[in-house]
Each structure stands twice: as structure tokens, then as C-alpha cells.
């Protein structure tokens, strides 16, 4: 891991066509951001914004946070990673993970089976393929028969594993170059990061941190409840927060959601949970809260701006939160 103090932003930005965001990326550089991190759900794919960034802002490190292990064939994923690594030599980081049953199964019609083994096998295959060797191997969850990557990176590509609970966190430290974590509080980092770092202090911990810059706490909490309910009712995130110790406080929300009472579920989310999981407030308060994540073990905060009604618009927010 680099000794540079990193400060990242999630891309692309909402409400602006992707092809028109060059000036936004250039401004990130001018403001002192070091990284941009993409994700993949129902918006832009993870790689196209980074491919553009490789040309628009060659000063930035580029990372995926994250690419699902299931939704591309292993060979196709290796090709994409190799191509990105050639486009941005020494500046591309692959974040890969199991994702969720919603994205994998409901949206892509792929069985969400054995997520730990699938993620582990993809990491192992990518290590093999990116080395340039011809791969013939029976992994536990798929087989490769004679694949040789034709776009070899000139420098090793760090592979970070999206991790929630202990088994995946240990995989991230043992076989990955670190972990990508999200939907957790600054205090939760003290539980999660040491597991990854037990495999070496050089293991990087990247955290996607959700931020809404606004003085209107009640409006941000109201909007935040919708975001929290959308994620924390997904089984993998529910299990994560139960493991973190929030089972008792979140059970009323989970029960109301299962019963189909969405209004009651939202009402059951306490203010304290919103305040822990979503940073909101004026810029200086947000900045101080972000630094608590770093103090507790995050190497690279990757800010994800939430376009809540009443929050500072994204362009203004990225300026207000810029590193100082």
C-alpha cells in the first residue's frame, strides 16, 4: 500500500451524462482528491467511468468498489482488468466481491450460490491469468480450460475483496491485497479493519462512506431511512449488522419490512443508526466524521455523495469536502 494519504470520490456523478463529466474529474484533481472509485448496480457499469478517467485525469488512482464476481465470465473479467491496467499502468485497483442476491440473482438471473467460494475462486483465477500463464484449472465453482490473457499488465494489479463478516474479511487479508467495506459506522471499523490488517499492515482498507452535506438533520435522516432500509433488508447486509451487534435495534425494522409494512419499517429505524451509517451535517462536521473512519483503520475513504433532497448539490459538495 502506498504511503500517500488517499482521499477518494465515488464516480460517476448523478444527473450529468457520463460523457460530459470530464470537467468534474479534472476538478477532483485540482481539489486534491487522489482516487476515484466506481460501483456496479443499476447505473453505469464499473469500468466505463474509469476508462474515461484514465484519459481525463491521469493523475488519479482508479478503482472498482465493486465488481460482482458472478456477472462476467472469468475470462471476460480478466480481459477487462488487463485492459484497464494497460490504460492506467500502476493506477488501477480491482475491487471484486460477491455482491448480493438482488443484483446477481434477481437482476442478472444468475444463481447466487456459494458466494465465499465464488469470490475466492475469482481472485485465484485472476492472479493466475494476470501472471500471463495459460490457465487450466478446476476451481471449486468453475473450470478454466486453456485461457491465456493477451493483454498483460506491465505492473501487478492490486485485488481488493469486498468484505462484510469475518470469513470474507480474512479472505481479503489472506489472498487479496486488502478489503473494501461499506455500510458501517466509524466505530464499526475498529471491529472490521484489524481482521484484515492481521495479515499485514500493508493490506489496504477502502471504505465507501455515504455523505449528504446539509444543515437540515431531520430531512437527511428522513431520506437516509429509505437508503438504509433498501440495503439493510438485503440478507447479506442484515447478517452483517447482526454480526456487528445491531440485531436488537434493527429487528423492529426487519420484522415490519418482512410483514410488508414499509412505513412502519422506516419509522422503526432509530436516529442513532442513521447518524452512524450516513454522514450528514455542515461540511466541517462531515469532514471530522470522515476522519474518524481513517483514525479507526480506514486507509482510503471513498466518499459516496447522496443526492438527497435538500442536500448540497454534488458539485458543491465535492468542493466543500475536498482534502485540506
How far is the C-alpha of 290 from the C-alpha of 303, rounded, in Å? 9
Average pLDDT over every residue of 120-142: 98
- The reply to whether 215 falls in a domain is no
Res. 4 pLDDT band, cuts 50 70 90 = confident
Whichever domain contains 99, its CATH number is 3.20.20.30
Residue 32: Cβ-neighbour burial (10 angstroms; 0-12, 13-18, 19+): exposed
Backbone angles phi, psi at 136, to 5 degrees: -130, 105
Q: Does the pLDDT value for residue 238 go beyond 50? A: yes
Say whether pLDDT at 1 is over 70.
Answer: no
Examine residue 125 and state whether it is found in any structural domain, yes or no.
yes
What is the number of domains present in the chain? 1
Bond into 109 cis (ω within 30): no
Structural domain includes residue 106? yes
The three-class DSSP label of residue 111 is coil
Each residue's pLDDT tens digit, 96-124: 999 999 999 999 999 999 999 999 999 99
Tell me the pLDDT tens digit for each residue of 12-69: 999 999 999 999 999 999 999 999 999 999 999 999 999 999 999 999 999 999 999 9
Instruction: Look up the pTM and report it.
Output: 0.96
Average pLDDT, stretch 73-88?
98
Query: Is residue 2's pLDDT more than 80?
Result: no
pLDDT above 70 coverage of the chain, percent: 99
What pLDDT shows up at residue 324? 82
159 found inside a domain = yes
Summary mean pLDDT of the chain: 97
Distance of alpha carbon 163 from alpha carbon 176, whole angstroms: 11
Residue 303 lies in a domain: yes
Mean pLDDT throughout 205-233? 98
In a domain, 271, yes or no: no
Parent domain of 25: 8-210+282-320
Q: How far apart are CA 104 and CA 85, in angstroms?
A: 25
Q: How does residue 3 score in pLDDT terms, banded at 50, 70 and 90?
A: low
**Any domain includes 82:** yes
Residue 135 in any domain: the answer is yes
> What per-residue confidence (pLDDT) applies to 212?
98
Amino acid at each position: 500500500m502506498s504511503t500517500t494519504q488517499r482521499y477518494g470520490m465515488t464516480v460517476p456523478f448523478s444527473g450529468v451524462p457520463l460523457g460530459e463529466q470530464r470537467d468534474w474529474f479534472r476538478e477532483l484533481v485540482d481539489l486534491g482528491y487522489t482516487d476515484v472509485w466506481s460501483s456496479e448496480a443499476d447505473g453505469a457499469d464499473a469500468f466505463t467511468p474509469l476508462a474515461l478517467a484514465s484519459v481525463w485525469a491521469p493523475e488519479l488512482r482508479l478503482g472498482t468498489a465493486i465488481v460482482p464476481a458472478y456477472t462476467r465470465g472469468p475470462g471476460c473479467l480478466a480481459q477487462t482488468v488487463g485492459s484497464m491496467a494497460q490504460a492506467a499502468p500502476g493506477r488501477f485497483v480491482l475491487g471484486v466481491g460477491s455482491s448480493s442476491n438482488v443484483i446477481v440473482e434477481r437482476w442478472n438471473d444468475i444463481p447466487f450460490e456459494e458466494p465465499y467460494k465464488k469470490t475466492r475462486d475469482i481472485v485465484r483465477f485472476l492472479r493466475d491469468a494476470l501472471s500471463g500463464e495459460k490457465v487450466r484449472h478446476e476451481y471449486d465453482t468453475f473450470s478454466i480450460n486453456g485461457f491465456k490473457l493477451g493483454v498483460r499488465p506491465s505492473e501487478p494489479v492490486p485485488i481488493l475483496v469486498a468484505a462484510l463478516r469475518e470469513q470474507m474479511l480474512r479472505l481479503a487479508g489472506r489472498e487479496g491485497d486488502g478489503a473494501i467495506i461499506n455500510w458501517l459506522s466509524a466505530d464499526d471499523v475498529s471491529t472490521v479493519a484489524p481482521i484484515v490488517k492481521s495479515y499485514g499492515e500493508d493490506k489496504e482498507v477502502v471504505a465507501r462512506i455515504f455523505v449528504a452535506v446539509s444543515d437540515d438533520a431531520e430531512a437527511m435522516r428522513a431520506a437516509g431511512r429509505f437508503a438504509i432500509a433498501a440495503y439493510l433488508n438485503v440478507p447479506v447486509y442484515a447478517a452483517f449488522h447482526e454480526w456487528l451487534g445491531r440485531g436488537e435495534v434493527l429487528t423492529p425494522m426487519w420484522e415490519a419490512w418482512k410483514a410488508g409494512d414499509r412505513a412502519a419499517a422506516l419509522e422503526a429505524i432509530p436516529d442513532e443508526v442513521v447518524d452512524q451509517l450516513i454522514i450528514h451535517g455542515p461540511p466541517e462536521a462531515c469532514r471530522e466524521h470522515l476522519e474518524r473512519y481513517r483514525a479507526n483503520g480506514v486507509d482510503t475513504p471513498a466518499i459516496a455523495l447522496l443526492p438527497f433532497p435538500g442536500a448540497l448539490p454534488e458539485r458543491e459538495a465535492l468542493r466543500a469536502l475536498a482534502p485540506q
